[in-house]
Amino acid sequence: MSEPASTAVRVVVADDQRVVREGLVTVLGVLADVEVVGAAANGEEAVALVERYRPQVVLMDLRMPRLDGVEATRRIREAHPSTAVVVLTTYADDNSILAALRAGALGYLTKDAGREEIARALHAAAAGQAVLDPAVQARLVTAAGLSAGSSAPSRPLPDGLSPREAEVLCLIASGRTNAQIAQTLVVSASTVKTHINNLFAKAGITDRAQAVNYAYRHRLVNPADAEAP
């Protein structure tokens, strides 16, 4: 393992398959800007390692014994909100994606991801930015489209979003373009752009992929075909 740079992202790897876990440690260990500080074989170990090492990011598998990745993510985010979780899993079904995002995962990758993609996701998560595998994002957009006609939730909104900003966010999550959003809300394109700029600033997001992630993590979108965790 190479010596970590001073700006290296401190990472805990969690995967119950030994060959995968050790492979990830090896692959990430050769990167100068990533420091693997621990490796867990189950969710309980992941939670304990976060408590011990306080990493910036956990690279989390979902299906693990003793404590699954979703519950481990929820416990880590509740106890250590400064530690981000990026899911790396074989599973990309709607229920798994929704459960992970709602538990607080900031990123979701499948195990088809390459080393550079994983490294980018780790750095993005450490900076508080959401990352979704393109296939995962496509599934969420499709699912959101099933409920795009519903209005934004009436419960308190996160980060000071206004009801109209939340509505625009839901339409973004359903895959609508700015022009389509303007047509749906019967407003001008410039008004839509203003709402998007405002909600992105409030939510701390920078692109549509992060907007989709944010909408699901905060339960602003509730697709009809996905069960709540």
Whether 182 and 71 share a structural domain: no
Of 80, 108, 132, which marks where a domain is finished? 132
On whether the pTM is more than 0.85, the answer is: no
C-alpha to C-alpha distance for 77 and 9, rounded to whole angstroms: 17
Claim to verify: residue 58 and residue 153 sit in the same structural domain: no
Q: Are residues 112 and 152 in the same domain?
A: no
Residue 2 lies in a domain: no
Nearest to 154 by CA among 163, 144, 165, 141: 163
Are residues 146 and 191 part of one domain? yes
Answer yes or no: do 96 and 193 share one domain. Answer: no
Q: Using only C-alpha atoms, what is the Rg of the chain?
A: 18
Report the alpha-carbon distance of residue 22 to residue 31 in Å, rounded: 15
Q: Which range marks the domain in which residue 85 is found?
A: 9-132
Q: Once rounded to an integer, what is the mean pLDDT over residues 15-26?
A: 95
Say what the pLDDT of residue 223 is: 55
Q: Is the predicted pLDDT of residue 153 greater than 70, yes or no? A: no
Average pLDDT for 196-206:
92
pLDDT for 154: 56
For residues 45 and 108, state if they share a domain.
yes
The answer to whether position 121 is within a domain reads: yes
Give the chain's domain count.
2
Q: Which helix or strand (DSSP H or E) is residue 84 part of?
A: strand 84-89
- Backbone dihedral angles phi then psi of residue 60, each to the nearest 5 degrees: -115, 125
